[in-house]
Structure 1
Amino acid sequence: MKLTLGYSPCPNDTFIFGALATGKVKTSDIEWEILLADVETLNEWAIAGKLDVSKISYHAYLHAQHHYLLSQSGSALGRGCGPLVITTPEQLDQLQPEDASFAIPGKYTTAYLLSRLRYPRMHHIHQMVFSDIEGAVVRGDTQLGVIIHENRFTYQDRGLVSIQDLGAYWEERTGLPIPLGGIAIQRTLPVGRQRQIQEAIRESLGYAYRHPEEIMPYVSEYAQEMDESVMQKHIDLYVNDFSNDLGTEGKEAVVALLNHAREVGITDHIIDPLFVP
């Protein structure tokens, strides 16, 4: 059976899926067609139901839930790993965040949802590829930027400052880890197939932990412009025990995020079940 699988070229995703992509972990009767794209492209594809299995922002899942269940393996979820709101030092004294211009990495990203929760009256919004946001803030094209991924480790090198850790805001508000992105699996697939895919993702991650020397070349292939230490920090921050299994706390965090989105009017319903059993 041929299935499509989409994830981003970010180190946490390529680390998790590297063993599957390179054939180190095989899924007997599944032949994978792998597509790599930036997170917002993946979100848009998922909302259209394009792929069989896909990385997805938990915010975007609200718009794609009729197509997909959520895997209990493969997530980016944790503490101290949330998006940051950044600006230039010159802006600090005069800044009123809810009246300022924001650059966001996509309207379906969890980063944008968290921004909405923190700044409910924000309205000057510019969407751009996440890797362009730092430069836009430096140039003054936007007053604030919401950064994700490896930019968390590089913004200070460009003289920028953080005014809000949105992950810390979420943790203080809920006491729960911040759910950033998960793996969506088509609802129309048989339950046995969904479970097989969920377990294959878990096996792929386990292989990467046991044999990093075999997987890191694949990770590096898609992170050629990234410093090696930044690449490793990225993996260390976004790949953790929740990536292996959401568990009770992880699932509680996902449900809490979706419920908060409902409270601010992003959706009026949540389809049950949410997770692959």
Structure 2
Amino acid sequence: MTDRLRLRISPCPNDTFMFEALLNGRIPTQGLAFEVGFQDIEELNEGVSSPDGPDISKISYAVLPAVVDRYALLDSGSALGRGNGQLLVRRRGDRSPIRRVAIPGELTTANAMLLRFFPSIVDRTPVLFSEIAAAVERGAFDAGVLIHEGRFTYERHNLELVADLGALWERQTGLPLPLGGIVASRELPAEVRRTFDRVLHDSIAYALEHPTVSRPFVREHARELDDEVIDRHIALFVNRYSLTLGEEGRRAVRELTGLPDLRLGWEPLHGS
């Protein structure tokens, strides 16, 4: 159908779990082929912000408004739900003022949530998400915002919870929190975007129906190799919204991004 699509996702268990079937030939890909790269979420956000961005990419929802003219949000592949938000943590027992905070990237939804609920914290430093807990533990920062596996393992680093940003969002909006989604370049033919959306849906459905098949692939890329942590990560971030956003998911994305019209996939946003 087309040349190999440049696909970029994170190495985190929710992404590798969802994409394993389509990348490893377990489902028909309808003529699509892929050149895949694994990147940290901030690298993914920067990639779609560049002129020569990938064809398809995972992004933080916070960056969607900046790239919506060039990338269309797909209906499948989102990390969106309840009880899955970012955690603001600090060293256990530390009661000094929080001034310096490590964040997983300036373009991330985590940073957007910190700004939304703690606007007075202006000293925010991007740090690779998997290194934030250790950096806070050794005193390099007063606090850090944890995403992905970090929310399950921070107590190992002698850290304690300051605020669950996702819980704050849910109390304020009544909606699930949109963390990340999959976008496709508007330079791709509409039929290619439509086909990829269907294939990704089928890949996620296959993973949910055969949850153990993807484990070697997931472990190959995971930063945290503990099977219990991987299982908790997948269970939290891969859900019904991953298969399809649905009306509630679209309302949540509109609330976070401020985009008034969120028609998906092969349809252009804003009717253009």
Identify the TM-score tier after normalising by the shorter chain.
over 0.9
Note if contact 1:65-1:271 (Cα within 8 Å) is conserved in structure 2. no
Equivalent in the alignment of 1:4: 6
Match of 1:79 among 78, 82, 85: 82
In 1: Cα distance, 2:206 partner to 2:262 partner: 29
Equivalent in the alignment of 1:226: 225
Q: Deviations over 1:158-205 (max 9, x none)?
A: 221011000001001100000000001111222222111111110001
In 2: Cα distance, 1:54 partner to 1:29 partner: 19
Note if contact 1:85-1:145 (Cα within 8 Å) is conserved in structure 2. yes
In 2: Cα distance, 1:88 partner to 1:153 partner: 16
Equivalent in the alignment of 2:117: 118
Q: Kindly provide the amino acid, as one letter, of the partner of residue 79 in structure 1.
A: R
Aligned pair 1:22/2:24, yes or no? yes
Q: Kindly provide the amino acid, as one letter, of the partner of residue 174 in structure 1.
A: T
Q: Deviations over 1:118-151 (max 9, x none)?
A: 0122211111100111111111110010000001
Equivalent in the alignment of 1:192: 191
In 2: Cα distance, 1:152 partner to 1:248 partner: 28
Matches within 5 A, 1:1-277: 1=2, 2-49=4-51, 50-92=53-95, 94-95=96-97, 97=98, 100-223=99-222, 225-259=224-258, 270=259, 272=261, 274-276=263-265, 277=267
Q: Kindly provide the amino acid, as one letter, of the partner of residue 60 in structure 1.
A: V
User: Per the alignment, do residues 128 and 139 of structure 1 end up closer, same or farther by CA in structure 2, a change over 3 Å counting?
Assistant: same
Q: Deviations over 1:41-66 (max 9, x none)?
A: 11100111511110000012222212
In 2: Cα distance, 1:216 partner to 1:20 partner: 15
In 2: Cα distance, 1:130 partner to 1:27 partner: 32
> Does the residue aligned with 1:120 lie in a helix, a strand or coil?
coil
Normalising by structure 1, what TM-score? Answer: 0.91
Note if contact 2:30-2:199 (Cα within 8 Å) is conserved in structure 1. no
Deviation at 1:274, TM superposition (A): 4.8
Equivalent in the alignment of 2:270: none
In 1: Cα distance, 2:178 partner to 2:80 partner: 4
Report the count of equivalent residues: 263
In 2: Cα distance, 1:255 partner to 1:101 partner: 30
Deviation at 1:244, TM superposition (A): 0.4
Q: Kindly provide the amino acid, as one letter, of the partner of residue 184 in structure 1.
A: V
Higher helix share: 1
In 2: Cα distance, 1:64 partner to 1:177 partner: 22
Note if contact 1:66-1:271 (Cα within 8 Å) is conserved in structure 2. no
In 2: Cα distance, 1:224 partner to 1:75 partner: 20
In 2: Cα distance, 1:70 partner to 1:59 partner: 12
Q: Kindly provide the amino acid, as one letter, of the partner of residue 69 in structure 1.
A: A
Q: Give % identity.
A: 41
Deviation at 1:214, TM superposition (A): 2.1
RMSD over equivalenced CA pairs, Å: 1.4
Deviation at 1:212, TM superposition (A): 2.3
Note if contact 1:48-1:64 (Cα within 8 Å) is conserved in structure 2. no
In 1: Cα distance, 2:199 partner to 2:60 partner: 20
Q: Which sections of structure 2, spanning at least 5 residues, go unmatched?
A: 268-272
Deviation at 1:220, TM superposition (A): 1.3
Note if contact 1:69-1:273 (Cα within 8 Å) is conserved in structure 2. no
Note if contact 1:47-1:61 (Cα within 8 Å) is conserved in structure 2. no
In 2: Cα distance, 1:215 partner to 1:128 partner: 29
Deviation at 1:273, TM superposition (A): 5.1
User: Per the alignment, do residues 123 and 147 of structure 1 end up closer, same or farther by CA in structure 2, a change over 3 Å counting?
Assistant: same
In 1: Cα distance, 2:79 partner to 2:14 partner: 8
Q: Kindly provide the amino acid, as one letter, of the partner of residue 151 in structure 2.
A: R
